[in-house]
Structures are given as structure tokens and as C-alpha cells.
Amino acid sequence: MDCRSVCCNRCQGLGEARCSDHHGMQRLGESRGGQTGNFRRHGNENLVIRKLDLSDTKSIRAFAEIINKEEKQVNILINNAGIMMCPYSKTADGFEMQLGVNHLGHFLLTYLLLDLIKRSAPSRIVVVASVAHTWTGLRLDDINSERNYDTMKAYGQSKLANVLFARSLAKRLQGTGVSVFSLHPVEGAQTTIYCAVEPGLESQSGGYFSDCATARCSRAASNDESAQKLWEISCNLLGITWDLSSLTELLLRRGLQSCCLPKTKLNNRNQSQWIKKEFQKIAMATAIGFAIMGFIGFFVKLIHIPINNIIVGG
């Protein structure tokens, strides 16, 4: 089988472990610094490396655009890149660094590649979390830790977000042939590889794994209400709308920008909200149009007027 995987990775050791694991895949790797020397040592001609910075949404969108343009299918997406317990700083888009890279970056990348992943089904999305998700809960009123920053709690929150994201995404993708898993990597990459390629795991979609087996996650990581709130906050921060497919939103965004987008400059969040409203208007107008056509058809049948004798002028 011609199987292609995308592995978002910052840790060299894990990247090498995945690249040397032989499953007959073409791997589309990510190197934060764009360095390729260590990968070349393996002599794996199927490995393609593309630069991606998960702390910058412009870089994420550029990377996704390349993958969507160059690849006909992506069967496995491994969201593995991460940053751990760093001093307080922000991403290029103003997000707390650990949340921005570990959760929001992967959230956006998955969104942008999802249409391709769906078309490639059966396929899998693997989110590398950590047992650190048990260290804390979600601070939904201060998601960017601007009022109080604790490096360990911020890291734990980002890993909790990983588990909740996988849980929510799995529910939304039921029936699509796309399975989603989160995991604690323990040591090395074996559990990640297990979730990516082990046969028969589809019924466990949304589950949390450790040491190549299902594992119990924290109570906070099983809270569907928190998962939904995190989902909504993430969409708002990134200015995306999962209600529409990413392709539909892209076409709407470009089409409306070229003809009728407001002249005033909108940020991503407001622009997406405006696009959604315009899409709803179009849908409403279409529904009204069908209703009118139905009424005309009924009227024609009622008074027995041949349909060929009716001309609708504009």
C-alpha cells in the first residue's frame, strides 16, 4: 500500500526513531530549522523534509498549502512537536508559547490538512500528549496565562489540551474513516508508532494510550464540556470555523475578498465570523429560491399551464 505520513517533530531522537521504523511509508517530515543532515544518514529517499514553525500561524498555513498542493494523500498525521517548561514568552500571534506550539499550532495544522486526510481514509491522526496532562486543569478564563504563569502548569495545560482535542476531534470524525488517538510517549517513539499503524485500533478512536496500550486519562481530560469550551476558544483564537470544511472556508475567503469583503481590514477572527454570516445569507437565499421554484411548480400544476409556456425573466 502506498501510505504517506506527516510527522511534525522538534525532537531529533524521536524523528530518527520514526524514520528508521520500516512500514513501507513515504514520510513527509518537518524540521523546525530546516536541517536535513541527520536524516540523510539513513539513506531514506522516501523522506521529504519541509520547514514548519508551529509558533507562527503564517508558517503553519504555508506548510499546509505545500502539502495540500504536492500530495495526493496523507494517511497519517503525527502531531509530535512541542516545547516544554520554558520561561514565559509568546508566539508570533500572541499566544502563550507552550499552549501556542503544543496545542494551537497542531490544532490549526490538523484543520488545514483535514480535507486531504479525509480523502485519504482510512487514515489516522496521532496527538502526542503526556502524563503531564494530569498536573493541572484548564484555566479557561486565563488560557494564555497572562495573569499568573507557572511553567509546569502551563505545560500541563497544553498537554491536557492535546488529550481533549483528540477526544473532541474523534467524535466529530465518526463515520469518516479517520481515527484519532492521543498518547503518553513513555520512552522513545514506540507508542506513537503503535497508534499510527497498529491494525484494529479504529474502535478505540478518541482514546488515550501509554506503553502501547489504552490507558486511563485524568478526570479533566474526560470532561466533554471542557473539551467543547476549549474547542470554541481555540477556534476563536485562530480565527477558523470548523463548521465549514477548511477548503470551503478558503474558497469563500478568497472569493469574498475579491468581490465583496469589507474595505476595512479585519483580523482573522472577525473575518471568519463575517464569512460565516455571508455563507449563512447565501444558504438562506438559496433555500428561499428553492421554495419559490417549488411554489411555481405547484401553481403550474394547479392551473394546468404547460411548463413550456412559462418564461421567468430577470
- Beta bridge partners, 31, equal 51
155 is catalytic: yes
Reported confidence tier of residue 187, pLDDT bands at 50, 70, 90: confident
Considering the entire predicted model, what is its pTM? 0.74
Q: What is the pLDDT of residue 4?
A: 74
Q: What is the pLDDT of residues 88-109, one digit of tens each?
A: 999 999 999 999 999 999 999 9
Q: What is the pLDDT of residue 41?
A: 54
Q: What is the pLDDT of residue 297?
A: 66
Q: Is the pLDDT of residue 76 over 90?
A: yes
Q: Is the pLDDT of residue 254 over 90?
A: no
Query: Per the residue annotation, which of 88, 111, 155, 194 is the catalytic one?
Result: 155
Query: Can you tell me the distance from the alpha carbon of 251 to that of 257, in angstroms, rounded to the nearest whole number?
Result: 10
Range of lowest pLDDT (130-134, 137-141, 156-160, 309-313) = 309-313
Q: What angle do CA 85, 90, 96 make, to 5 degrees?
A: 60
Crossing angle of the two packed helices 12-19 and 190-197, in degrees rounded to 10? 50
Q: What is the pLDDT of residues 207-251, one digit of tens each?
A: 999 999 999 999 999 999 999 999 999 999 999 998 655 555 555
Q: What is the pLDDT of residue 199?
A: 97
Query: Can you tell me the distance from the alpha carbon of 171 to that of 138, in angstroms, rounded to the nearest whole number?
Result: 20
Contacting residues for 185 by C-beta, under 8 A, at least 6 apart: 14, 128, 130, 191, 192
Q: What is the pLDDT of residue 80?
A: 94
Reported confidence tier of residue 155, pLDDT bands at 50, 70, 90: very high
Strand, coil or helix: 149 = coil
CB 196: neighbour CB atoms within 10 A? 25
Query: Can you tell me the distance from the alpha carbon of 176 to that of 169, in angstroms, rounded to the nearest whole number?
Result: 11
Query: Can you tell me the distance from the alpha carbon of 102 to that of 192, in angstroms, rounded to the nearest whole number?
Result: 16
